[in-house]
Structure 1
Amino acid sequence: MEPATYAVDPRPTGPPWRLWEEVGEDAAARQCVYAPVYSVSFGARNRIVIAPGDSRSMTLIPEKCEGYCQGVDGRAGPNLACEGCGRAVATRMDDCGMWQTVWLEPDAVERRPSGLPAGRPPDWDDLERAEHRVPPVEPDGSWSRRWEAAVGVMLAHLVVATEDRPVTLPVGPVADLLGDAVGRYFPAGPETRTVGLAGPGIGTPRPRPDVFLVPRHPLTGAPWRPPGDEGAVVPLDSGLWAYLAHPGETSPMPATGVLPEGVLRDDYPLPPHPWCSLTPHRHAFDYTLVRLPAVRGPRLSRYRDAYRR
């Protein structure tokens, strides 16, 4: 989470956990899980996640600070207590391989105004700002962790939207950056579905592709949709979408006009080159897919069978 921001997860998260075999398909569906998994969360709904640096007046509960590697993972439930009353109010998570977060228990905290002036809420216009774009490659040549997670989420939605059929990506940044990742999760063969990029500030492709790749709203998370269009859309993290749709100027010097065909400039900075092709975060993909009701469809049996192994 960015500083001074928060998000709310409407689905059950965290302990207690119950095995799928004990819960059953119908009870799991009531917990927003629609395909077999090892265990199902019966934790609180509407838990609030913030950046650890934004937490105040809380102290760790030593006996609940278990973890796998070099941090805490929240397996025992809330591990942060209010310094004033001692009540368990939140869960710090920062173990190896995890995002560093603090999850507030919804029944243990209440919202109060800070007295500070509120900033302008983000809107669709923010997607065209250069600072909103999330570069795919870190300075050390590794893939952005945000890209790995967000692409995993996007692919789960794309599997559902296409019913696990082969897909064709639009030529350009989308195919260049996402082609290898899509190839890992989709079959080859006939019945190919076409994917196009659509959203605020760019023209809508015509004829309409089978699926539009669209941004999530930077505040609400709701996917953008073309006016009057009821076709399939697949949401993507707005920072990633902005990078694909609005790459911006890549030259360090402003220029006017165009170069003659076949002439290349030599003053462009070389783009960062990752060590390997993009590997989507498998847990982000799995977590998202099993929580989409359409995963129960007959054409998605390939993925449901994978979770039963």
Structure 2
Amino acid sequence: MSGRQKPDWLKMRPPSGRQFTDIKETLRDRDLHTVCEEANCPNMGECWSGRNGPGTATFMLMGDRCSRGCNFCDVETGGMEALDPEEPSNVADAVAEIGLDYVVLTSVDRDDLPDQGAGHFARTIREIKERDPGILVEVLIPDFQGEPELVGKIIDAGPDVIAHNIETVERLQWPVRDRRADYEQSLSVLEQVSEESEVYTKTSIMLGLGEYDHEIYQTLSDLREADVDVVTLGQYLQPSRSHLDVFEYVHPDAFETWRRVAEEELGFLYCASGPMVRSSYKAGELFVDAVLREGKSVADARQRARTAGD
């Protein structure tokens, strides 16, 4: 399927604009990485160029090489390097220079480290918050092999949103994800965040990998059972010929149907669903930003969602 011509709804805008150039230069000056570049995100030009502000970039911590080898991801695997102790400070400097008020942090998996990088992640969150408590920080974390104390380090650092991606339906976890990843393990991470913190939880699902509709529905239902607040659904695109083939290009109408199911039937607080949507797509422009700025209670919002889903 992936050898066929992409449909019209998958056309993307190439990177351009002064804001795009400024962000790129700032990152290079501090030897920082973004998942936008490392994973060949199709929305990099749009997100970095922005509309009404400095744009959105998702900082990728702990290097540009991952200890896992997921078959959908374009990030390099193996050859792990030592952590840069200056990275948390450099990221905070870049955030200030770019002028972001909503920051997204993610990372490669670092199973090679004693704490799998949880402490480094937490230090970066604190560096940003110490300089400007008004900056909203969203983190997209690994599963930390499901170890609760490591997830707890992230919670204790005080981010505003904690995301962890389930990626696909249970049946397709392998071959889509590395064998060290697991559907129930990912659910347990999200459930722990919901139970132990007053922050919004978020996850993402890729479509077009051969999943059935009933499996998508079951995955969404499982995520709501874990009290996940926000879900994004997007089209899987093959990064290279060595990655998984695209099974299907899902029509935008189907994505809209899943958005309605997620929000109106199952009670997610927000669902971004579309062919070009990614887990951190226009993160600062999504529902979470508006809700947090208004100072609404996470607990109250969740209770309203449960009522809507009943």
Same fold (TM over 0.5): no
Higher relative CO (CA 8 A, sep ≥ 6), structure 1 or 2?
1
TM-score, normalization by structure 2: 0.27
| Larger-Rg structure | 1
- The structure in which a higher percent of residues are helix is 2
TM-score, normalization by structure 1: 0.27
